[in-house]
Chain A
Amino acid sequence: MFDSAIQALQILTQPDHFLFLFLGVVVGLFIGILPGLGGMVGMALLMPLTYGMDPVSGVAMLIGLGSVITTSDTFPSVLMGIPGSSGSQATIMDGYPLAQKGEGARALSAAFICSLVGGIIGALMLSAILPFAVPIVLALGTPELLMISLLGLGMVAVLSGRNPVLGLLATTMGLILGSFGTAPTSAVYRFTLDTDYLLDGVKLTSLAIGLFAIPEFIALLSKGGAITDKKTDLGAGWMQGLRDVMKNKLLVVRHALIGAGIGFIPGLGNAIIDWINYGVVIRFAKDKSQFGKGDIRGVIAPESANNAKEGGALIPTILFGIPGSGSMALLLAALVIMGVEPGPDLILTEAELVFVIVWSIAIANVLGAAIAFILSGPISKLAVIPFYKIMPFILLLISVGAYQATSHIGDLFSLLVFGVLGCIMRQTGIPRAPMLIGFVLSTPVERYLWQVTSRYEMEWLTRPGVLIIGALMVFIIGFSLFSSGRKTKSVGEQE
């Protein structure tokens, strides 16, 4: 395992691979700073470029992008009081008041250092778990893998939105959509609408870009031409931010560990992790009086957690092939595009690639923090560029990216169809990430289902592992449905 880690570092630091990591970091910083565009849009933008790419370069680029979005999204949160992405909402609570007092640089400085430390702790946690995971992975049979996949899907469905039924519906939509095209178990074409284009099924790039990028573009454009008319004054306190982090180093470690730990749970996105950590830091603080008025601990806690989350989220993604979030689903899909089969065998057969992921997180966080520090002035100005000036170019980029999937005009039409679908889902509050994750997991779930039913018939349902995971799944989904019903009822009574 140690040898694989060293080899992975050597591979990653080769100029061509490192260049792609750097490219991912730069694009990630750019996406993070644009309010409204998050990791999903970023991943969707770069994913088409991974066609035919070497897996190391592709993985480094995507991980680089995903790792630093929560670094640069601090700029708009602190300077303008607008979340750069869902992962920096809680940072506004104390970051923006600090900026209003002329201490924006202090908040940014503390946030960048915490992001850096958090990201590295997340990577360390991931690498620490990997050696222990191998025996667990080896002990799992197909029935358990099927149940783990269903558990992951169920958790994402009920935890990623406010309405678990709509989450389950979105997941089912993804699972059904994934069954279009050739059946993985026999040479039968399903739901092809009598077109050649759908013989290979729905294309993931069109689905991901359509579901996530186009609705965000339309939402940003509908709000008006300019993202914000506020000024971005950095203020002072770069060194003070560093001193604040040194003074609160245990806080940084504690929240990075919480972030990585919660990131492990499928379905809990950046926004939830951010707020949980903000809640925890207030709960355990002796002096709570300054929170919401510019307490630096209110910046340190969420910023340490949201970068550490990436390492935690990769644990189920790598070990079981269960993406806990939309961006992890895209990472898995990109691995497939690059010819790597994700799933439990990945750690056994592609240990170096797994460690490339670990190193990429760590190096990307260092690069991201360094760039954010050095170029903070110009970067902060990017946030006030009117979105309508950037949008046409991003639309052209994603259109070319989607078209690259099969070079068929159907790629563009399906992009449009999923864009409209994404807009409707966004507007009606149906979570989109479960649909994407359902789509990505559709083929493995069907394959597992076919294998267990043909090999074990109904006997697999009595295996202890299956029963335990099944009971856990029923409990989580049942509890979510029950608590959602109670919440709605109490809101209704209040009104």
Chain B
Amino acid sequence: MRNQNHQPYENWMFESSSLTIEQRGNLYEHLRVCPQCRQVQQEWDGVIQQIHRAPQVKPTTGFSQRWRMSVDARREMQVRSQTWKLLLWLTGVAFLSLFVLAIQIGADSPVYLIISQMKTFTRAVAEFFIIFKMIATFFQMIPSTVALLLSVTLIGVFSVLTIIWIRTFMRISKQGVYSKS
């Protein structure tokens, strides 16, 4: 293994095409007196010769046709992979739900579970009506022009969101989701 005391000549040997005339002269002088660097220079010249002899390799004929033919297959594979991912995700969610349900059934009696679920549902409905009443009261309290403006804004936002959602749904069902890689 060579020692490290041959700079900057070692760098110059590897980048000889970008040297100034003075640097070339200095390198030449150094190579004349330093057998170690002379050897590296010879070895590097050999590597460069070998690289220059190695041509640009072409693919076999019909590369672009093969690419064109593979596009449909790749798309199909992508859609299949997405379907599998969705299926796996849904299965995971279903298993998790079943797991939670099984724990609840194991902890409480089924009758108690049904009663508590009904209670939760009734409470949710009641709270929804309370929120609805609060919004209605809020609209009655504020000036009619502001209420009108707010209603139009809300309707506008929800319409735009709905359109975006429908367009996204149509795009995904038509093309599939492209990965970013």
Do A and B pair up? The answer is no
Residues of chain B touching chain A, judged by Cβ–Cβ distance below 8 Å, are: none
